[in-house]
Structure 1
Amino acid sequence: MDPTGRHARHTPRAPHPPGSRGRAPGTPSGHDPDAGWLARVMHVAFFLLLGASLARFLLRHEWEDRSPWIIALTGALAALYLLGPVLGTRATPRRIAWLCTVVAVWVVLVVLAPSFAWCAVPLFYTGLRTLPHKAALGLVALLTAFVVFAQVQLSHGGWDPNLIVAPPAVAALATGVFVHADRQAARQRALIDDLIRTRRELAAIERREGTLAERQRLSMEIHDTLAQGLSSQQMLLQAADLTWESDPGAARRHVRTAESIAERNLAEARRFVHDLAPADLAEGGGLEQALRGLAERESADFRVDGTPVPLPDRAQSALLRIAQGALANIREHAAATSAAITLTYLDDQVVLDVADDGSGFDPAASRADGGVRGHGLPAMRVRARQLGGTLTVESSPGEGTVLSAAIPLTPLAPPTEAGP
């Protein structure tokens, strides 16, 4: 499980940076603001303790043979400690060699002057921050034992329980605080990494869904415009071919009609390049004018009921595409002698009805066999559903068909799905 308690996904982890192997899991990096702040505090504490230990020795002791050595070693230890931040925090060979040198100089100082034992606490932190977990704990135990030994030596054989108990207690407290803070930082980093991965996955899913939605939209646009126009042209040209010798006038009319359809298809194709809005709507006049022009081209009746109200562009486009798809189905499948389009404005919705007196079909059977009537009806349902509306089909064999699309006026619902 991850730090949040959820089962972690099996996603690839980023490789360890160079030099990071061997460090304890969750060891703070040099780029962690909290770790940097704690390191600065420990650096200040080290130099304060080092200076205080030297001042204590000089104040309590007369000048001795060891005094120059202690002063020199103190300066050397301060200079060595200043090199630590330059070497970084990872357990590289140079960093480990530096730490061993610092500890060795400090040990010599403690042997010469046991009061320098108080510098062990910042060294605990340095070891925990640099070495792997087990090695760092071993170093802390070793330094603690040496501090106890030095304090006992400083007491000149006098028994003082604090000298035995206090150094291990301080070491345990410092180590516990550091380990707890380190683990908390590791949990936070793991949680942040998980959130970043989740956000990237969600972004990828949204991109895929957007791509699928755009493909579905384009497929509906092409089906309702170019594909239907090409189908009409094919039927008209076939009719012209059949009547070319027997009735040249009728053949020419079919060809001219096919030419006008091709011209409109070309306008639709150019519209795709611009903004994919229906060319009929782009010509002006709104939905009513576009439906009236469509009805004239398809030899259908058109009527408007109720008081027209302004509709959003996407609602007008959807209703026009539904009407185009319904008339295409009538032309290709219904064998109807008449068709009618009715646009009705009600108080809370606008309703588009397309009726014909053709052969009809069984809607239940069409749904059961996967939609034998092709892509048209599913595309119409998706268009209505994306606007929070509904599409119903009433038909039976031999009795014609009535298709009804109802779209709410206000507020129009956002799209609920990308496609069927």
Structure 2
Amino acid sequence: MATERPRTTPVARVLQGCLHLMVAGLLALAVARALLGPGGDPVAVVAAGTAMAAVYAAGPLIGAVRRARPGAVLPWLALLGVTWVGVLIATQDGVWLAFPLCFVELHLLGRRGGLVAVALTTVVAIVAWSWHQHTLNFAAVIGPTLGAAVAVVTVFGYQALHRESEERRRLIDELTAARAGLDAAQHAAGVLAERERLAREIHDTLAQSLSSIQLLLRAAQRALPDRTEAAADYVEQARQAAQDNLAEARRFVRALTPPDLENTSLAVALERLCATTTAQAGLPVRLHVSGDQVRLPVPHEVALLRIAQSALGNTVRHAKASHAEVTLSYMDGEVALDVFDDGAGFDPARAGVTAGGGDGGFGLPSMRARARALGGTFAVESAPGEGTALAVLLPVVPTTEDSP
């Protein structure tokens, strides 16, 4: 008999089988001793043993008993106890059955109820043995008591191991799920990083080369001495092919642009970022845009958006600020991004960071690397209790959709 569990392990099934065999074997031994020797009245022993075997065998067949429901377990155990007492009265060999009965009671009644039932079973076994022997001695007490103690230690030890095994299994399931989520996040991050890298490489190599070809061919058209019609036609065809390929390269770059910049400007993407941060983190963030907005090269817009995302992420996680401000400034040949918060701030020197360079924590090296990769500058100003100001300045040449 076993308590209801989420799952029955192979070890538990083996123990159940051994328990059933023990009860059957001890009953058979008591009956055999009664039939073959001085083991009590054979008729009484056979009748009591048969009754107990029938009640015990019915237990596993009753679903409520198998699932350890108190409403069914208690009557069944009471009836089993009555038949066992009948065996005890018929023969002193019935004392042996106290040991497997202790296992049954501990499994079905739990810790507190099981201990009470085991104590009662032990007392009954001691009394019955003493009654048959017509004396109460040390052996009559120590035998059933030691058997009950072994049963208690064995059952509670197994239950502790089972709980530990289930807890370990649950932790393994959680770790497996967390690892799967981490793998998915790393894959998504890798895809975005590769998209940005390809966009930057195409813009800096293929697009620039095609643009140069187009300019050279346009100059060649003007430099032809007689502007012969055939030569001019070939040059025009080459220039047109270069222009078509340049347009295709730009479409490919746009396709690789981060989703936040698809079909929208940098200012709109930053406005959306500020609104999202305010809504999700509860940190008021305002965006200020100055100067005439122009379309920037894709790598520049990607870098500025990613720097703003990282800076606001740091503010939410570390700064404990009451508000933050993001400023995007368009100037002649330059674009500036400033992020300020009034949070706890930090000591750049202790963080391993200086305002003009160096390496440090809080994602600053990544922001600095992005700015420097585009020929820009990156600066951090902060002090404990005085907030943090972050400034990025990039040199740019505004682009248009149809520019060479």
Deviation at 1:113, TM superposition (A): 3.0
Q: Is the 8 A contact 2:99 2:144 kept in 1?
A: no
> Closer, same or farther in 2 for the Cα pair 1:84/1:235, shift >3 Å?
farther
Query: Which of 106, 109, 114 is the equivalent residue of 2:92?
Result: 114
**Structure 1 equivalent of residue 67 of structure 2:** 90
Cα distance in 2 between the residues matched to 1:35 and 1:238? 82
**Structure 1 equivalent of residue 199 of structure 2:** 222
Cα distance in 1 between the residues matched to 2:24 and 2:370? 86
Q: Secondary structure of the equivalent of 2:96?
A: helix
| Correspondences of 1:362-381 after superposition (within 5 Å) | 370=368
| Correspondences of 1:6-405 after superposition (within 5 Å) | 31-60=8-37, 68-86=43-61, 87=63, 89-92=66-69, 93-156=71-134, 158-225=135-202, 255-263=240-248, 370=368
Q: Is the 8 A contact 2:30 2:45 kept in 1?
A: no
Cα distance in 1 between the residues matched to 2:184 and 2:100? 51
Q: Is the 8 A contact 1:53 1:116 kept in 2?
A: yes
Cα distance in 2 between the residues matched to 1:30 and 1:365? 62
TM-score by length of 2: 0.52
Cα distance in 2 between the residues matched to 1:44 and 1:30? 22
Counterpart code for 1:74? G
Unpaired stretches in structure 1, ≥5 consecutive residues: 1-19, 241-247, 273-327, 330-358, 379-396, 398-420
CA deviation map 1:260-302 (0-9, x unaligned): 32355678999x9xxxxxxxxxxxxxxxxxxxxxxxxxxxxxx
Cα distance in 2 between the residues matched to 1:236 and 1:84? 91
Counterpart code for 2:76? W
What is the total number of aligned residue pairs between the two structures? 262
> Closer, same or farther in 2 for the Cα pair 1:125/1:191, shift >3 Å?
same
Deviation at 1:34, TM superposition (A): 1.4
Q: Secondary structure of the equivalent of 1:220?
A: helix
CA deviation map 1:341-397 (0-9, x unaligned): xxxxxxxxxxxxxxxxxx9xxxx969898467587589xxxxxxxxxxxxxxxxxx9
> Closer, same or farther in 2 for the Cα pair 1:267/1:206, shift >3 Å?
closer
Cα distance in 2 between the residues matched to 1:251 and 1:365? 49
CA deviation map 1:207-233 (0-9, x unaligned): 211211111112221332269767888
> Closer, same or farther in 2 for the Cα pair 1:264/1:62, shift >3 Å?
closer
Counterpart code for 1:129? H
Further displaced range: 200-209 or 248-257: 248-257
Cα distance in 1 between the residues matched to 2:40 and 2:117? 33
Q: Is the 8 A contact 1:110 1:116 kept in 2?
A: yes
**Structure 2 equivalent of residue 410 of structure 1:** none
> Closer, same or farther in 2 for the Cα pair 1:128/1:159, shift >3 Å?
closer
> Closer, same or farther in 2 for the Cα pair 1:85/1:267, shift >3 Å?
same
TM-score by length of 1: 0.50
CA deviation map 1:317-364 (0-9, x unaligned): xxxxxxxxxxx99xxxxxxxxxxxxxxxxxxxxxxxxxxxxx9xxxx9
Counterpart code for 2:247? A
> Closer, same or farther in 2 for the Cα pair 1:185/1:267, shift >3 Å?
closer
Cα distance in 2 between the residues matched to 1:79 and 1:43? 12
Q: Secondary structure of the equivalent of 1:91?
A: coil
Counterpart code for 1:202? R
Matched-pair identity in %: 18
